[in-house]
Amino acid sequence: MTYAREPISTLLDRLDEPPERLILITGPRQTGKTTLVRQALERLDRPFLYLPVDEPDPPVLPPFPGGGESTFAIPDDPLSSISGSKDTRWLVRQWERARVGADRSERGCVLAFDEIQKIPGWSETVKGLRDADRYHGRRLHVVLLGSAPLLLQRGMTESLAGRYETIRLTHWSFAEMSAAFDFDLPAYVYFGGYPGAASLVREQRRWRAYVTDAVVEPNIERDVLAMQRVDKPVLLKRLFQLGAEYSGQILSYTKMLGQLQDAGNTTTLARYLDLLANAGLIAGLPNYAGGAHRRRASTPKLNVLDTALMSALSGYTFEEAKADRSFWGRLVESAVGAHLFNSGVPEVRLHYWRNQGHEVDFVLARGPRLAAIEVKSGARRAGSASGLDEFRQRFDGARTILVGDGGIPLSEFLSAPAPEWLEGS
């Protein structure tokens, strides 16, 4: 039986509601967006049309005749086999086919476009088609997904504001990788949460090649550089490598520029870090302080958003990583940071805290609620033991949490999403 992630329940619930809004599936590359949608479609009791835009001859799944509904065929598109890039005329033809299915079925029809952002001008066309369907009361659910979250989100916000609802997929959690692939805690800390790489962990050279070739390169080349204005692409690539190498460490923009040996500036680096975070690769966590302007100007703490990125680029094997206490400590801390970021966005803001020699690994913030988190693993820096006490004194009402030896077990902490650790604060 194929493992199904929890968001499939959310998607199926939305498809059972009247089609008031478009359904947008977002998330980093290689996190299972296509699989999730296909699994949901196969459970439906109504016709559906799944269309991968980036395939020259898109395979169309047949209508699923469950629930006692009479079987019928969605009419074929006589032009669908024509090779070449898709355009808005192709999009309109597929939409018309789905309309036929919706009009013939008592329960309506579902239309899913995969990699929709690859059609130039798609958002304006979708807006017109969707508004017409709503005017006529047509029961047609439309699901949009793609592997370029920056471009996809931009098209939605520019043309389709107020017309869509987002279901976010993140990197796979420890609980998910354990249930689906029998990962234990050390395996998850090192190999991370990419399901496509799970079958390769016994062949670590192949695993590292997969992470580099199927995750890192497509993310940077196709999703960031090809779809965003990046004046210094070499700088962005080196910044990603630096972020993977220094994950779990606080590094000023000035020091980054020195390491990168590039004539860039701090504003450019901050923007590139934002691009890498939106692509699900590296985040630059701000120092927690009073005003938002102070947080924005602070020195960032680098954190990979999946520890596979740190491990694959480190040169360490699994056994070597576990043997190096300092590296393993940073890997564990990075796993905690990635978990908090992935399970908290956009509801919870994630920071670190450092002030006058005192430091806390992570700070969760949501409205007036605060939680300071210290990870006890590997070699610890001087003065870190008093960080939680100092934070509690400075920020009255904040919850303080120790993860690891003497505190909450790491496996337990990684099994609860970030918002839960704010309860009681």
What does the DSSP 8-state code read for residue 6? T
**For position 78, what pLDDT does the model report?**
57
**For position 59, what pLDDT does the model report?**
46
The pair phi, psi for residue 108, each rounded to 5°, is 85, -160
- Do 285 and 350 form a contact (C-beta atoms < 8 A)? yes
- Do 41 and 49 form a contact (C-beta atoms < 8 A)? no
Pairwise CA distance, residues 218 & 227, whole Å: 12
Nearest to 424 by CA among 346, 369, 387, 352: 369
**For position 159, what pLDDT does the model report?**
79
**For position 150, what pLDDT does the model report?**
63
Nearest to 123 by CA among 99, 158, 148: 158
Nearest to 77 by CA among 90, 62, 61: 90
**For position 365, what pLDDT does the model report?**
96
What does the DSSP 8-state code read for residue 425? -
Q: Is the pTM of this model over 0.75?
A: yes
Pairwise CA distance, residues 129 & 131, whole Å: 6
Tens digits of pLDDT across the chain (425 residues): 589 999 999 999 999 999 999 999 989 989 999 999 999 999 998 999 999 998 764 444 444 443 334 344 566 665 554 445 689 999 999 999 999 999 999 999 999 999 888 888 899 999 999 999 999 999 999 999 987 666 676 777 777 888 999 999 999 999 999 999 999 999 999 999 999 999 999 999 999 999 999 999 988 988 788 767 888 899 999 999 999 999 999 999 989 988 887 667 888 999 999 999 989 999 999 999 865 545 556 799 999 999 999 999 999 999 999 999 999 999 999 999 999 999 998 899 999 999 988 999 999 999 999 999 999 975 555 445 579 999 999 998 899 999 998 899 999 999 999 999 998 76
CATH number for 7-168 (one of 3.30.70.1280, 3.30.450.20, 3.40.50.300, 3.30.565.40): it is 3.40.50.300
Amino acid residing at 118: K
What residues does CATH 3.40.50.300 cover in the chain?
7-168
**For position 293, what pLDDT does the model report?**
44
